[in-house]
Structure 1
Amino acid sequence: MASPQESTQKFRWHYADFDDADLQFRGRSLFFFVVLISIILLVTLLFLYARWVCNVEYSPPPAPPHPTISAAPAPTLGLDSTTINGLPIVLYRSSVDSESIMESECCICLGMFGDGDKVKELPGCKHVFHSECVDKWLNTHSSCPLCRASLRADSPV
């Protein structure tokens, strides 16, 4: 075993005992240290800039206060009122003829047709609907609600 004197001297340190000559940066070591610190600083700044750019909320550019050229009105998707009013109105009857079979239900409101109800028959496809229901539909659409056949006069279909 070691004597008590040796063990106490083993851990006795003094500030003057430290030699810091090995901790000096010179020549290539200093150059690589500066380059390493510069790269770490550059990557950190780029990361912070990228986070800042991604967190900025973009808003659309403001509209001009007074438009100098008036915009053309948007084309209406439905039919005009004269065309809608020009569609034939027939009275519904529940008896079935051998030549024409009429539907018994309005596919717009899903209501059943009763004898004497005023229904509109669309040209071309011959589908029938309640007059009020099909008028509302044709104000916003230009086709049959059931088969989507076009009702426009200028349409090739």
Structure 2
Amino acid sequence: MSFTDSSDSRDERPVSILWGCELSSDRSSYTFQVPEDWHCEQQLVLRTICLGETARDEFHVVEVVTEDSDSRTPVPLATLKPSVLPTATLAGVELNPPVTFRLRAGSGPVYISGQHVSMMILSSDDDEEEEEEEEIEEAPKKPPKGSSAQKSSTAKKRKLEKEDEL
């Protein structure tokens, strides 16, 4: 999914929220989904998967199932073991919700973290508020009386007046 390519002329802004979940023997499955009333593009970008400090020295296999795939076949995401590989970096794993994570083997805890990215559509009201905020921020601040900036501007005015007279 590309957030830069947009067929609409609407103003859109990506909003990124830190996301994470825990899988263990108590909760071996977690489904990431967004409310149906959110009418904007959604994406889950995974960053890391790691074992908790109480994880037993056994293989912990985490798999992912995406709802948009035709076969809905589970795909192994990581196989972790505290003594060998306690953490894995997941570069380039971008999923469209809903997505289900399962702890296929091991007892956990296994922590999955990433970013939930949404394309928020800016309405004209939001645009006006942003413009007002920018105008307030860009308003020039007057230097205090007697400052060198004020003195130099007075000197410049005098110099320009002399040049006009010549």
TM-score (norm 2): 0.22
More strand by share: 2
Larger radius of gyration: 1
More helix by share: 1
Which structure ranks higher in relative contact order (CA pairs < 8 Å, sequence separation ≥ 6)? 2
